[in-house]
């Protein structure tokens, strides 16, 4: 980030003393965020060892649980960080090891809010991967998981919710009176790409952006606009007469747009789940004689494993996959030569500071100026 913490916040007065609760699902990310907050507090003349507040959500062997906060939160501006996508946490359930699901994590979040017992000055939730976010609209007789979860949090007294790259941010219409910020880590992605890929050029003759589908069009349009490059897109042709795993299967990916021949291609999406669609696009782009292909997803969860991506990398189909540290990544993924991590912890810390100081966060949300300076730094402007 080009602006310093003092430029953004100065020595302004905080809403209330800051407290940070990182649930077990987000301990690693919470520790990084806390380090920034502690460092900045020292720069501002406030000596704080840690803003983290110890907490626990133990489980009984029957599966019941409870939330426990181990020190006072009275009068604090409380920020609760949770990763509902962390499937690596397990608990004993009738003698078996049961992996926590998004439902379990969301329930633990509500337990911690209950444990605060209304004593906190204000409660803010940072939930990078939005609970129920993929079930954001109703077709036929279906539940509205995300909208109902947001209303639950509002009824429990949550004042603000910060999420990243929501599948459909219009779900905030369910809570018009509660603060809802949907953040896009665009600057952090471009910074990581320029740092990790040494010979990368954003020249429009050498580089272009391709949207994987119509749903991801806006985010890819933004990348193309700020970089000043051309853009294409794929249209997913589906078989609407069949439903497989709750969805209409994709029959083909049809490309629309300018030629990709000889150009490095960047494809951005919110989530890589099984990864099959991203690989289909990569193979289709290679058939059109594209150069290197770099994929990005805010949440790289790879539900079907990594083997197909290993093969695609080995065969020169995919040259790199970028993903954030906003949700759990397996050690196997982190060890892959084709995976590049985008660290968003500092961005979260800035957000917490802004909310805690009760000031405008427009300078943080809009990364256009920072991207301009980044491109100048690498001689591309």
What is the rounded CA–CA span in Å between residue 104 and residue 88? 12
Burial of 283 (0-12, 13-18, 19+ CB in 10 A): middle
Contact in structure between 252 and 237 (CB atoms under 8 Å)? yes
Rounded Cα distance, 168 and 173, in Å: 11
Q: Where are the alpha helices (DSSP H) in the chain?
A: 5-9, 27-43, 102-115, 145-155, 186-196, 217-227, 276-287, 307-314, 331-335, 345-357, 362-365, 368-377
What residue ranges in 112-190 does DSSP mark as E strands? 122-126, 158-164, 179-183
pLDDT the model gives residue 7? 47
Ranges of residues in the chain whose predicted pLDDT is under 70: 1-12, 239-240, 245-248, 363
**Tens digits of residue pLDDT in 300-352:** 999 999 999 999 999 999 999 999 999 999 999 999 999 999 999 999 999 99
DSSP string, 248-259: PPEEEEEEEES-
- Cα atoms in the Cβ-side hemisphere of radius 13 Å centred on 83: 21
Measured distance between the N- and C-terminal CA atoms of the chain, rounded to whole angstroms: 18
121 DSSP 8-state letter:
S
Task: From 23, 20, 24, select the one nearest 33 (Cα to Cα).
Answer: 20
> What are the φ/ψ torsions at residue 378 (nearest 5 degrees)?
-95, 15
Is residue 34 a contact partner of residue 20, using CB atoms and an 8 Å limit? yes
Name the one residue in this structure whose structure tokens are 């920072």.
370
Q: How would you label 52-90 residue by residue, b for 16+ Cβ within 10 Å and e otherwise? A: bbebbbebeeeeebebebeeebeebbbbbbbbbbbbebe
The gap from C-alpha 281 to its chain's centroid, in whole angstroms, comes to 22
By the 8 A CB rule, do 150 and 130 touch? no
């Amino acid at each position: 980030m080009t602006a310093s913490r003092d430029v953004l916040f100065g020595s302004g007065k905080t809403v209330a003393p800051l407290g940070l609760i990182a649930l077990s699902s987000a301990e690693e990310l919470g520790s990084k965020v806390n380090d920034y907050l502690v460092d900045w507090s020292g720069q501002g003349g406030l000596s704080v060892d840690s803003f983290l507040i110890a907490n626990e959500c133990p489980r009984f062997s029957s599966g019941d649980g409870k939330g426990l906060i181990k020190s006072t939160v009275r009068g604090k501006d409380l920020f609760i960080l949770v990763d509902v996508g962390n499937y690596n946490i397990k608990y004993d359930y009738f003698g078996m090891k049961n992996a926590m699901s998004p439902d379990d994590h969301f329930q633990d979040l509500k337990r911690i809010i209950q444990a605060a017992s209304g004593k906190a000055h204000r409660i803010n939730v940072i939930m990078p991967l939005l609970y129920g976010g993929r079930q954001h609209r109703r077709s036929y007789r279906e539940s509205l998981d995300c909208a109902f979860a947001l209303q639950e949090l509002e009824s429990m007294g949550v004042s603000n919710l910060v999420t990243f790259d929501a599948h459909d941010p219009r779900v905030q219409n369910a809570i018009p009176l509660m603060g809802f910020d949907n953040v896009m880590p665009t600057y952090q992605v471009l910074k990581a790409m320029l740092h990790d890929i040494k010979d990368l050029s954003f020249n429009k003759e050498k580089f272009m952006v391709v949207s994987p589908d119509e749903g991801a069009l806006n985010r890819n349009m933004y990348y193309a606009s700020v970089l000043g490059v051309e853009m294409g897109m794929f249209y997913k042709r589906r078989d609407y007469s069949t439903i497989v795993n709750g969805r209409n299967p994709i029959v083909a990916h049809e490309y629309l747009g300018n030629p990709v021949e000889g150009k490095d291609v960047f494809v951005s999406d919110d989530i890589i789940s099984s990864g099959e669609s991203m690989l289909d696009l990569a193979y289709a782009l290679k058939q059109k004689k594209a150069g290197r292909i770099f994929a990005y997803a805010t949440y790289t969860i790879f539900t079907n494993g990594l083997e197909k991506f290993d093969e695609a990398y080995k065969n020169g189909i995919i040259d790199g996959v970028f993903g954030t540290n906003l949700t759990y990544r397996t050690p196997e993924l982190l060890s892959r030569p084709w995976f590049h991590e985008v660290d968003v912890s500092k961005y979260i810390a800035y957000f917490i500071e802004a909310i805690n100081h009760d000031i405008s966060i427009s300078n943080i949300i809009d990364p256009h100026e920072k991207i301009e300076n980044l491109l100048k730094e690498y001689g591309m402007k």
